[in-house]
Amino acid sequence: MDKSDPPTKRNLSLESKLFLYLFGSLILLFCLIYPTGVAIYEKWQIDTAVWNAKTIEIVHYNPYCRVPFQKEIIYGTQILKKEDFHKVSDAFPYCLDISCPLIMTMCSFDPHHRIVITDAAGQQKVIQVCFICTHVQVGEKGRIIPMPFFWISPLHRFFKEQGLPYQPGRYQEDMRRGQESHP
């Protein structure tokens, strides 16, 4: 066989298989392994904070308030009993996460629910949840990550059981009223 002969189908097939294998591995790495690792790490932080918690406060709020001298509108708060602390951990189950960390949503992280976990030394771990873009932030300066799919339903249920459900119409109405009364 002369060196100037075009490559055979067998060589192209092998090259195509190698390319597909590498491409598939990268997709698996970036869309399953990395997001799952991040979710497991955040879940571990939440569990550690809950295990060491002295108090846990659940807050439903609107962070955008146009009333002078008022930082936010509080719709409701709940202080969990010690025997109910496990419900916070249960709302964030260990699970696989399939997402693409490179794809951003159009929502600008607009949380209306937060969980404030305070330990015996007074240190706080704040978990903020945005159901609009389904992102979560663990720690006040923590990174904002897409919520794993299997966290969304348990979190909705958790906040609803606490009497602090997600109410998108209410947030928009408060914003409209605030803009009308305080231009």
For 42-56, write each residue's pLDDT tens digit. 999 999 999 999 999
pLDDT > 70 fraction of the chain, expressed in percent and rounded: 78
Cβ count within 10 A of residue 81: 9
- Domain-embedded: residue 60: yes
Specify the pLDDT at position 102: 57
Per the model's pLDDT, the better-predicted residue between 17 and 69 turns out to be: 17
Q: What's the length of the chain? A: 183
* CA 22 to chain centroid: 29
Between CA 126 and CA 53 the distance in angstroms is: 12
pLDDT digits (tens, 9 = 90+) for 56-98: 999 998 877 655 666 788 889 999 999 999 999 999 998 888 7
Is residue 22 very low, low, confident or very high in pLDDT (cuts 50, 70, 90)? confident
Per the model's pLDDT, the better-predicted residue between 59 and 177 turns out to be: 59
- Domain-embedded: residue 49: yes
- Domain-embedded: residue 3: no
Q: Could you give the dihedral angle defined by the CA atoms of residues 152, 37, 133 and 90, in that order, rounded to the nearest 10 degrees?
A: 20
Cβ count within 10 A of residue 48: 14
- Domain-embedded: residue 152: yes
Per the model's pLDDT, the better-predicted residue between 171 and 38 turns out to be: 38
Between CA 23 and CA 115 the distance in angstroms is: 39
Between CA 4 and CA 59 the distance in angstroms is: 73
74-83 contacts, C-beta under 8 A, 24 or more apart: 75/164, 75/167, 75/170, 76/163, 76/164, 77/164, 78/162, 78/163, 78/164, 79/55, 80/55, 80/56, 80/162
Residue ranges making up the domain that contains 36: 9-181
Number of domains in the chain: 1
Cβ count within 10 A of residue 152: 14
How much is the pTM? 0.75
Cβ count within 10 A of residue 140: 12
For 29-40, what is the mean pLDDT?
A: 80
